[in-house]
Amino acid sequence: MTETPLPLDPGRAPALAREFGLKPEEFARALAILGRTPSLTELGIFSVMWSEHCSYKSSRVWLRTLPTKASWVIHGPGENAGVIDIGDGLAAIFKMESHNHPSFIEPYNGAATGVGGILRDVFTMGARPIANLNALRFGMPDAPRMKQIIDGVVRGIGGYGNCVGVPTVGGEVNFHPAYNGNPLVNAMTVGIAPRDRIFLSAAAGIGNAVVYLGSKTGRDGIHGATMASTEFSADSEEKRPTVQIGDPFAEKLLIEACLELMATDAIVAIQDMGAAGLTSSSVEMAGKGGVGIELVLDTVPQREDGMTAYEMMLSESQERMLMILKPGREAMAQAIFQKWELDFAVIGHLTDTGRITIRHKGILEADIALAPLESEAPLYHRPTVETPKQPVLDAAAIADPVGILPALETLLGSLDLCSRRWIWDQYDALVNGQTVQRPGGADAAVVRIEGHKRALAMTTDCTPRYVFADPEAGGVQAVAEAWRNLTAVGARPLAITDNMNFGNPEKPEIMGQFAAAIRGMAAACVALDFPVVSGNVSLYNETQGVAILPTPAIGGVGVLEDAAQSVGLALSPGQDLVLIGAMQGWLGQSLWLREIAGQEAGAPPPVDLAAERATGDFVRAQILGGAIAACHDCSDGGLLVAVAEMAMGRGCGVTLAPAPDGIPEHALWFGEDQGRYLCATGQGAALVAAAVAAGLPAVLLGRTGGEALALADGRSISIATLRAAHEATLPLLMGS
Amino acid sequence: MRAAIILFPGTNRERDMAIALERASGRKPALVFHRETELPTGTDLVVLPGGFSYGDYLRSGAMAAHSPIMAAVRAHAARGGLVLGVCNGFQTLIEAGLLPGGLLKNATLRFLSMDCILRVERSGTAFTNHWQQGATFRAPMAHGDGNYFADDATLDRLEGENLIAFRYVDEHAQPTSAANRNGSARNIAGIFSPDLRICGLMPHPEDLVDPLMGGVDGLPMFESLAAA
């Protein structure tokens, strides 16, 4: 008789399946695949592989519509991370991933393991990580636990990144009440590998050893992927044991050991054990390779006594990898891992059965055909409802209650615009000695590639309030903003990773946000030649029925052939300040409207993608040609906020030219019109002429010098005053 | 000048250090793994770079101080060889008993990553020859445990014997408390051994040796060592 795993009590199995997050019809599908009642371990495997987090069952139909190809794309979505050709025989490997739910429950470890997980996604492909970035959304600081969450998340990101020795070079932060019960922690890693030395995850070679690497397996994080696939309720605190604990020291050793082994030709395939740990790594590697896999769990390095097969397969203990080795290379590989004091264990081998079989203590614990586990995975075309369009606001109909300069001072100290120094002062941004543009100094981080002149520019961007007001326009804007920030340092934007953070996809209005945001992103990606090469989806970001603002965070990567050509944003005395791009005075969804006029209203500013492309291509060419000394895009807060940010960079004042007629003054200075760059140059008239000759709107906006920001009519405010307002907010809130 | 950089598990600033040493001396330093028991023949300078050796899960540097290679480092120091410890390397030299005092958690109880200004308290050493006495320079710091501590007798002796290497100062070269972000005793950022052959400091001069990375403020230390 054929051996089968010990089935669950058929009467109890449906209830347990529900507890594990499987819908009744999904459980029925699992029963059909197996032809019998599953064992506990098998039910665990089905439930995590078919969780939203691992299967993308609600989002896949939409993700497929994103453009993913360009001549420089080596590997798009589907691998552990995206891979692009950046010249000089090099590839950049990058991805962004969320750790929202764990970071809410246990901020320090939730954020820390978010960083650790995304690092592994990148170095598992053969890259040395050269930079970390992040995209954070917090609730209002006076919301319950929120200061503790902010503090813990920042400490966790720093605690992990600083220790592994990868510089944290950039990021973004927003505050909004919609995140009070569900903050977002998205972490991005960028790495560099030789273009011809990329490691993939598809297993191959019947009989080849399956090797476990890294830290030992404990009981932490069991069913973390399932937790990430449900809404929060009042009992979320009880889910604390599903949060993993990070060990950045082990990760540092794992990076060095893996890169040392990768320099040999011993590895067939390798993947990190991320969400759903040993289950997802073994299922995905074997599934992609079209082979079977047999695991014998007795040899899995274990941190605790008496662990069951179910616990080992579902554990999300950190700093672990799974690898397929070529025959005869075990001893050599083991020696490298012993040198780095890491566990190395052969825990199974590849088979020709097309099944995953799991044995423990001589007992068959699971036996599942791999093909249907993937091909029969649930896929939902969930119903969508479009977000109603907001009216375009008439700026002239909105009174300015305080005047231009008082509004500027207030805005610069407001939560969404204040200095992030309190945060980045806790992140090591310089380790490895290649950071050309540091946090706060430029629109994108710039990190040189060791031993090369070449550098990568990196940024994370999204304006969730725009996406909420108009998901499609907001999706366009998020991608355009990333492209613009890379352009503003002189880089050629190449590709993006996306981190789609949304609410409960079973609600049509949420799924409508998702679908429209993807539509907008896709349009921008096509227009800007800026494909998506990797990404992550985080749904069910709701607490007690309240959804977050839809937040498709974009991580953009661009290249500079010579790091020395990059520019920052700080003004110096004796320069002309030139604005390139059209002035409309669009106040809808602006921070001025929210912070000064007290309204979150109106349609968000539209992005004209053709103008965006033409303006950016012109500005980049001028930067690379040496005509522009400093550059800053106009985004949150509008034109005057951008001028002030450039002025505060080195404490250099600026006197502005008279405002053009036809636009109310407050709309002119604080409207968040898109597709605009402020450029500091020694030759303002020549730059304006060149822009106009290229068919682009451009004006000489001001002249730098002195110690104040001065309007043409004589009103002025000192840079020191602006700086004080800008720098005080976060230290005051966080008590340091 | 032949330099050897020691690699402990968790060391992470060896690349920055190698770049700085090579830039000043024209010679690639050797990388020596902590399990080794001997330094490369002819080593003039041993460098313990920054990082989180053994994760700093015990006191920072406490485990590294007991690595096999440390016997060779002690012997090198006893022969009058040059030893530089930066950040985690400084912590390790203290834990190894090669320099006095201790490094506590920053007074802010937070990791501090920012540029500070250092004043050269003693020129005319193998580490500081290329600076004038009292010169100031920028150096990035990146540490959680950089709060230098010693009892008053030790501090008095360090000052009396002129063994303070660097102090945290403000833009007017004054050792104010505002300039002393991590709360170090008497603003001390770095110290020498009595024979001036061992130097430990918390900030990272090796991260400011290239105009492209923001300046060359840290280069004189490596030029001094290259000429020593």
| Residue A237 clears pLDDT 60, i.e. is over it | no
Q: What confidence tier does A275 reach under pLDDT thresholds 50, 70, 90?
A: confident
Q: What is the mean pLDDT of chain A?
A: 95
Q: Is A53 part of the annotated catalytic residue set?
A: yes
| Residue B128 clears pLDDT 70, i.e. is over it | yes
CA–CA dist A26, A8 (Å, integer): 17
| A702 occurs within a structural domain | yes
* Residue of chain A whose alpha carbon sits nearest to that of B36: A339
| Residue A234 clears pLDDT 80, i.e. is over it | no
* Residue of chain A whose alpha carbon sits nearest to that of B15: A432
| A408 occurs within a structural domain | no
For A547, phi then psi, to 5°, come to -90, 155
| Residue A227 clears pLDDT 70, i.e. is over it | no
Mean pLDDT calculated for residue range A45-49: 94
Nearest to A203 by CA among A129, A280, A286: A286
Q: What pLDDT, on a 0 to 100 scale, did the predictor assign at position A240?
A: 52
Contact B15 A433 (CB under 8 A): yes
Give the distance from residue A454's alpha carbon to the nearest chain B alpha carbon, in angstroms. Answer: 12
Q: Which of residues 434-453 of A touch B (CB under 8 A)?
A: 434-436, 438, 448, 450
| Residue A294 clears pLDDT 90, i.e. is over it | yes
User: Which residues does chain B have within 8 Å of residue A341's beta carbon, measured at their own beta carbons?
Assistant: 9
| Residue A208 clears pLDDT 80, i.e. is over it | yes
As beta bridge partners, residue A173 has: A136
CA distances for B37 relative to A53, A398, A445, B67, B74, angstroms: 49, 75, 41, 9, 11
Mean pLDDT calculated for residue range A553-564: 98
Q: Choose, out of B111, B112, B141, B206, the residue to mutate when testing the contact with A (most A CBs < 10 Å).
A: B111
Residue appearing with tokens 């991805």: A95
* Active-site option among B34, B76, B87, B143: B87
- pLDDT of A122-157, one tens digit each? 999 999 999 999 999 999 999 999 999 999 999 999
For A724, phi then psi, to 5°, come to -60, -45
Q: Which residue has better confidence, A735 or A413? A: A413
Mean pLDDT calculated for residue range A17-32: 95
Q: What pLDDT, on a 0 to 100 scale, did the predictor assign at position A134?
A: 98
| Residue A466 clears pLDDT 70, i.e. is over it | yes
- Which of B13, B56, B210 comes nearest A431 by C-beta? B13
Q: Give the orientation angle of helix A719-734 with respect to helix A404-413, to 10 degrees.
A: 30
Number of H helices and number of E strands within chain B? 5, 11
How many alpha carbons lie under 13 Å from residue B167 in its C-beta half-sphere? 26
How many alpha carbons lie under 13 Å from residue B179 in its C-beta half-sphere? 22
- Which of A163, A250, A433 comes nearest B206 by C-beta? A433
Q: Which of residues 668-697 of A touch B (CB under 8 A)?
A: none
pTM of the model: 0.96
| A450 occurs within a structural domain | no
A372 CB contacts (<8 Å, ≥6 apart)?
A: A33
| A116 occurs within a structural domain | no
CA distances for A95 relative to A140, A154, A536, A672, angstroms: 28, 20, 8, 29
Q: Give the orientation angle of helix B14-25 with respect to helix B219-227, to 10 degrees.
A: 60
* Residue of chain A whose alpha carbon sits nearest to that of B139: A430
First to last CA, chain A: 70
Number of domains comprising chain A: 2
| Residue A239 clears pLDDT 90, i.e. is over it | no
Q: Is A99 part of the annotated catalytic residue set?
A: yes
Mean pLDDT calculated for residue range A576-597: 97
CA distances for A140 relative to A143, A179, A637, A646, angstroms: 5, 8, 19, 27
- pLDDT of A494-531, one tens digit each? 999 999 999 999 999 999 999 999 999 999 999 999 99
Residue appearing with tokens 């990388």: B31
- Which of A165, A430, A435 comes nearest B51 by C-beta? A165
* Active-site option among A75, A99, A176, A360: A99
Q: Does A325 touch chain B (CB under 8 A)?
A: no
**Secondary structure of residue A546 in the 3-state scheme:** strand
Q: Which helix (H) or strand (E) holds A471?
A: helix A471-488
DSSP assignment of A630-677: EEEE--TT-HHHHHHHHHHHHT--EEEPPPPTTS-HHHHHH---SS-E
Contact A438 B54 (CB under 8 A): no
User: Which residues does chain B have within 8 Å of residue A338's beta carbon, measured at their own beta carbons?
Assistant: none
CA–CA dist A437, A455 (Å, integer): 10
Q: How many angstroms separate the most distant Cα atoms in chain A?
A: 94
| Residue A475 clears pLDDT 70, i.e. is over it | yes
For A494, phi then psi, to 5°, come to -115, -45
Q: Does A562 touch chain B (CB under 8 A)?
A: no
As beta bridge partners, residue A366 has: A358
Mean pLDDT calculated for residue range B190-218: 98
Please report the number of interchain residue pairs, chain A to chain B, with beta-carbon separation below 8 angstroms: 92
Q: What confidence tier does A231 reach under pLDDT thresholds 50, 70, 90?
A: low
**Residue range of the domain that includes A32:** 13-49
> Alpha helix locations (H) across chain B?
14-25, 69-78, 88-95, 152-160, 219-227
Nearest to B83 by CA among B68, B97, B66: B97
As beta bridge partners, residue A493 has: A558
Give the distance from residue B153's alpha carbon to the nearest chain A alpha carbon, in angstroms. Answer: 32
Q: Is residue A452 part of an annotated ligand binding site?
A: no
| Residue A238 clears pLDDT 80, i.e. is over it | no
Q: What confidence tier does A736 reach under pLDDT thresholds 50, 70, 90?
A: low
| A429 occurs within a structural domain | no
Mean pLDDT calculated for residue range A93-101: 96
Do residues A477 and A483 lie in contact, with contact meaning Cβ atoms separated by under 8 Å?
A: no
For A16, phi then psi, to 5°, come to -65, -40
Percentages (nearest 5) of helix, strand, coil residues in chain A: 40, 25, 40
* Residue of chain A whose alpha carbon sits nearest to that of B109: A736
Q: What confidence tier does A733 reach under pLDDT thresholds 50, 70, 90?
A: very high
Q: What pLDDT, on a 0 to 100 scale, did the predictor assign at position B185?
A: 98
Q: What pLDDT, on a 0 to 100 scale, did the predictor assign at position A241?
A: 61
Domain B3-227: assigned CATH number? 3.40.50.880
As beta bridge partners, residue A8 has: none
Instruction: Name the DSSP letter for residue A454.
Output: -
Q: What confidence tier does A221 reach under pLDDT thresholds 50, 70, 90?
A: confident
CA–CA dist A597, A594 (Å, integer): 6
Q: Is residue A726 part of an annotated ligand binding site?
A: no
| CATH number of the domain enclosing A703 | 3.90.650.10
CA–CA dist B161, B170 (Å, integer): 24
Mean pLDDT calculated for residue range B185-194: 98
As beta bridge partners, residue A142 has: none
* Residue of chain B whose alpha carbon sits nearest to that of A735: B108
For A703, phi then psi, to 5°, come to -135, 135
| Residue A731 clears pLDDT 80, i.e. is over it | yes
Mean pLDDT calculated for residue range A569-590: 97
